[in-house]
Structure 1
């Protein structure tokens, strides 16, 4: 049962990781005018991803100083996700070792 819960949490964290990576790449494509923001489909995708990631970024953006237009909050979230995944794996191992 514990293994299944850890696997589900790991899967969800992996999905969030890929959503964040996709959002970062999309923002770069917008910044360098590779994608046109006037396209309805692209704009809808960008808004949907922004609505998913904004609640994650908001607390980090409050803490981080302004870096002159560079947003490091996705990087911080990705690092925190990796820390959570390692903590989950450690907790699962400890559970099965009987500690």
Structure 2
């Protein structure tokens, strides 16, 4: 029971901070301005880790490498703490793989969350700075699907299709993670 509670709490805290680092990277890559509530939250959650790393790790073009390194380090710390709690002996060698899988899992989960918010906001026809930011972040993922799937009765089904694909990716990721750990 203690392990489940610790795992849950570390997953929430690690997922939130890792997701914020990845969102920071994605917002910079998509050139979404940070002068909005989402940008303020991202800076508040990540500056303590990303800014010191940025002094050592310069960006590569439009890629803020320090945000990726920060996200990876957060996942590594999360799985290291779980390893300490579990007392898994020599399983420490798998920590980098677990951190990598955790990083991909957080990225997919974050995209799923963005798409759900996008879909709900599109139903309500809410025009706000927040909805514009969410739409800008979702469009690169939705645009290829929107080219293939037309509107059905005026409803955009592309978020649903992408959500299904992302859920399948999560299942595949879980099986890959299990295979790596067993093999």
Scaled by the length of structure 2, the TM-score of the pair is 0.46
CA contact (8 A) 2:150 2:156 kept: no
Q: Write out the 4+ residue segments of structure 1 that deviate beyond 3 Å after TM superposition.
A: none
The higher radius of gyration belongs to 2
Alpha-carbon offset, residue 54 of structure 1: 0.5
1:51 aligns with 2:146: no
Higher mean C-alpha deviation, range 66-75 or range 50-59: 66-75
In structure 1, runs of 5+ residues without a counterpart are none
1:5 aligns with 2:100: yes
Q: Secondary structure at the match of 1:70?
A: coil
* Distance of 1:23 and 1:66 partners within structure 2: 16
Matches within 5 A, 1:79-98: 79-98=164-183
Higher-RCO chain (CA-CA 8 Å, sequence separation at least 6): 1
Scaled by the length of structure 1, the TM-score of the pair is 0.81
1:14 aligns with 2:109: yes
* Distance of 2:145 and 2:107 partners within structure 1: 20
In structure 2, runs of 5+ residues without a counterpart are 1-95
* Distance of 1:17 and 1:65 partners within structure 2: 21
